[in-house]
Amino acid sequence: MPLALCTTSHSPLIGLHDPDPQVRAEVDGVLAEARAFVTGFAPDLVVVFAPDHYNGFLYDMMPSFCVGAAASSVGDYGLPSGPLDVDRDTAYAIATAVLDAGVDVAVSEDMQVDHGLVQPLTFLFASLTAVPVVPVFINCVAEPLGPAVRARLLGAAVGEAVRELGRRVLVVGSGGLSHDPPVPRLAEAPPEVVERLKHGRNPTREQRAQREGRTIAAARDFAAGRGPFRPLNPAWDALVLDSLAAGDFAALDGRGNDWFVEEGGHSAHEVRTWIAAYAALAAQGPYEVRSRYYRAIPEWFAGFATTTALPR
């Protein structure tokens, strides 16, 4: 059993704009179970597929995929900041194998990661340096995006690469499912936002606070049924979860990018991280989902899901 999987939604609104205490407690319980699953598996390496929200990856140079050989957290939304314990040699071994497999992944010697990558680590581990990681960025917001099938091919290539390591590897996917929070889009952005999307790394404390305040205000509106945001789509979320649980990648491979947006909102592209993680697990052979949780949580702006899986 050298591989295990945990995929989870993230939301920076956790702790900042919570649902009913009962719902919060339910999710805390689910995440505690996921943490116990991970502790039981005792990984010696964690490969995290995660998106970014214009904190580390901007339009000055936007790759589709990037493996981090070194990485640190920007500490957005009050999450821990500072360096991750990146296994640099393994990051290069994975990047090399993925390139050999025909997937053009970029490499970063100084990857900046945000809540998309950091929050699941806080769900599962006591600190950002509790376990060696290899971060794998998947562009899920900055158009133009390649087709979702490319995320599956990336995941499969990473899965093949880690299979050869002979280590206990936990594969994590972070994001989704259906959700449409206010992430700016280049084509519609006013000039000052365009500038930020190109060069807005390392905002001041005040700029970050202002941005985060806007996300919270938008979540308040959304939870109250106001605003221009696309609704959560539990039926679509169930389709995604069922397809991945069944290893039915073909159900998603054939879908165009518009389908994801129409069904699940703009940020539904974050399910690419789940597709990649499950494809990595599938590289080992048949697998079995061990736990599956889902609830639409408008206060967190997310169709919120967490799953764990193991080889059969």
Ligand X SMILES: O=C(O)CCc1cccc(O)c1O
Distance CA 214, CA 74 (A): 18
Identify the active-site residue in 10, 115, 266, 269: 115
Q: Is 183 in the site for ligand X (CB under 6 A)?
A: yes
Minimum CB separation from Fe ion for residue 165, in Å? Answer: 29
Closest residue to Fe ion, based on beta-carbon distance: 116
* 178 touches, from ligand X, Fe ion, none (C-beta below 5 to 8 Å by class): none
Verify whether residue 179 is a known catalytic residue. Answer: yes
Report yes or no: 265 and 222 within 8 Å, Cβ to Cβ: no
Identify the active-site residue in 179, 199, 266, 269: 179
In three-state secondary structure terms, 162 is helix
- Span 114-143, contacts to Fe ion by CB under 5 A: 116
Q: Is 306 in the site for ligand X (CB under 6 A)?
A: no
Convert residues 246-275 into a mask of x (bound to ligand X by CB under 6 A) and - (unbound). ---------------------x--------
Biggest distance spanned by C-alpha atoms of the chain: 52
Q: Is 53 in the site for ligand X (CB under 6 A)?
A: yes
Q: Identify the CA nearest to 18 among candidates 30, 28, 33.
A: 28
In three-state secondary structure terms, 118 is helix
C-alpha distances in angstroms, 294 versus 8, 13, 100, 188, 273? Answer: 10, 17, 37, 32, 17
Q: Identify the CA nearest to 91 among candidates 130, 45, 57.
A: 45
Minimum CB separation from ligand X for residue 54, in Å? Answer: 7
The pair phi, psi for residue 70, each rounded to 5°, is: -155, 145
Q: Identify the CA nearest to 279 among candidates 170, 153, 103, 167.
A: 153
Cβ closest to ligand X, residue 99 vs residue 261: 261
Minimum CB separation from Fe ion for residue 215, in Å? Answer: 10
Cβ closest to ligand X, residue 41 vs residue 304: 304
Q: Is 17 in the site for ligand X (CB under 6 A)?
A: no
Residues facing residue 304 across a β-bridge: 295
Cβ closest to ligand X, residue 109 vs residue 195: 195
* 135 touches, from ligand X, Fe ion, none (C-beta below 5 to 8 Å by class): none
Cβ closest to Fe ion, residue 41 vs residue 54: 54
∠ CA 35-126-66, rounded to 5°:
85
Contact window for Fe ion (CB under 5 A) among 27-35, 109-117, 189-197, 301-309? 109-117
Minimum CB separation from ligand X for residue 50, in Å? Answer: 10
In three-state secondary structure terms, 63 is coil
CA 191 to chain centre: 28
Q: Of the candidates 4, 5, 12, 178, which one interacts with ligand X according to CB under 6 A?
A: 12
CA 131 to chain centre: 18
Cβ closest to Fe ion, residue 196 vs residue 269: 269
Cβ closest to Fe ion, residue 293 vs residue 301: 301
Q: Tell me the number of residues near Fe ion by CB under 5 A.
A: 1
- Span 96-135, contacts to ligand X by CB under 6 A: none
C-alpha distances in angstroms, 215 versus 17, 210, 219, 282, 301? Answer: 10, 9, 6, 36, 10
Residues lying near ligand X in the complex (CB under 6 A): 10-13, 53, 175, 179, 181, 183, 215, 267, 301-302
- Residue ranges binding Fe ion (CB under 5 A): 116
Active site residues: 115, 179
